[in-house]
Structure 1
Amino acid sequence: MRVDKYLWCIRYFKTRSIATKACKESKVRVNGDLIKPSREVYPMDKITVRKNQVNYELIVLDTPDSRIGAKLVDIYRKDTTPKEALQKLDLLKYSKDYYRKKGTGRPTKKDRRDIEDWHTEGAIGSSEEEE
């Protein structure tokens, strides 16, 4: 089975074209090698997928005939992603929501000025500590 189709079948990508694009952009490796979307995958191949600033690592256990349900994904792959990488993903989520609530839109002019003041105060404070 093609690697782009495999990643789509086990639900790492929402569409097959997105999986193909990731392969073309060198975000997918099989056994440490950069690959083309047409590369065949076999059981016991190690796949590394760079997605959302995290390197997901998985081992192919079997190839499905077609796209499968989310509950059946573990039959066809073994996830060996380090826990540190998944914790990094959680930290990224929290770092984006520290200032503005979701759905409040773009920062206003006052918000932008407050952000700039906060950044300049941090720069001034760091230079005073060095002296």
Structure 2
Amino acid sequence: MAQLPPDAISVRVDSWTWAVRLFKTRSQAAASCRSGHVRVNGTSAKAAQQVKAGDEVRVRVSGVERIVVVVKPITKRVGAVLVDDCLKDISPPPPPPELLASIPMRDRGAGRPTKRERRDLEKLRGIDL
């Protein structure tokens, strides 16, 4: 039987993201694909979309976007030490905590902003209407 070259092998994107520990469960990976939080080479991916070596996968998990490049397509979950052999993480570094603390946040359940609060927010963001 002929061997396939390593770049010809492809696996499902939900299976691969679970195998390289981007998601805790495969069902979480599939649900994330269904809700549009997984993109392969710039296009929104369904759970069954095939990925191969060299593809760029963007995953949004809990508000943070991770950008990884598939180095080795795998279907079985591997240990955390072996994950580095299967992907190349090119995600930008997270913003510094000082910047996150300076962003104003409304309390949950506080309702819609008043007209004054909205104008203050627009002034802070630099939006001129």
**CA deviation digits over 1:56-80, x for unaligned, max 9?**
1000001124100001101000000
Task: Choose from 23, 32, 35 the match for 1:25.
Answer: 35
Runs (5+) with no aligned partner, structure 1: 96-115, 117-122, 127-131
Instruction: Compare relative contact order (CA 8 Å, sep 6+) and give the higher one, 1 or 2.
Output: 2
The percent of aligned pairs where both chains have the same amino acid is 36
Give TM-score scaled by structure 2 length. Answer: 0.66
Higher normalized helix content (fraction of residues): 1
1:44 equivalent in alignment to 2:54: yes
1:10 equivalent in alignment to 2:25: no
1:91/1:34 CA distance change after superposition, 3 Å:
farther
Larger Rg: 1
Counterpart residue number, 2:85: 75
2: CA distance between counterparts of 1:23 and 1:77? 19
1: CA distance between counterparts of 2:21 and 2:14? 11
Give TM-score scaled by structure 1 length. Answer: 0.65
2: CA distance between counterparts of 1:91 and 1:5? 37
C-alpha RMSD of matched pairs (Å)? 2.2
SS at match of 2:88: strand
Higher normalized strand content (fraction of residues): 2
Number of positions where the alignment pairs a residue of Structure 1 with one of Structure 2: 94
